[in-house]
Structure 1
Amino acid sequence: APKALDGQRAWYVGFRQTNRLLVGPVRSSAAARDLVNDLAREGVQATIFSSEAGQEIERLSGK
């Protein structure tokens, strides 16, 4: 796994007919941008996602 994900928790949220994999939470929009940029340097495509109020997000179980 990319070093940028060290210490991050994994979550998922329904997205259309599939699921979206999330990591975080992060402290701020700037921290989210930094994480996306760090992942890009490691060859991982990522985008920033903000949930809507009340949107159900599930923690991903397992290792």
Structure 2
Amino acid sequence: MIDIIAESTMKIWDWAALVPIVEGAGGCITDWHGRKLTAESDGTVLACASPSLSREALTALNAPS
């Protein structure tokens, strides 16, 4: 099992079918800023097993380097 996936070059056809599956299982799938994925999304995709894991991952992805 995988609890988190962070991808940076995905196209709509790579993630569109996964949104209802991930969300239906109780997970979250957004861009790296926590925004809902749309056809205009920038290619960053964060899929997490739970909302709490998503919040932690978003904090890490957006932390200053």
Q: Tell me if TM exceeds 0.5.
A: no
Give the number of the structure whose alpha-carbon radius of gyration is greater: 1
Q: TM-score, normalised by structure 1?
A: 0.35
Q: TM-score, normalised by structure 2?
A: 0.35
Structure that is richer in strand per residue: 1
Structure that is richer in helix per residue: 2
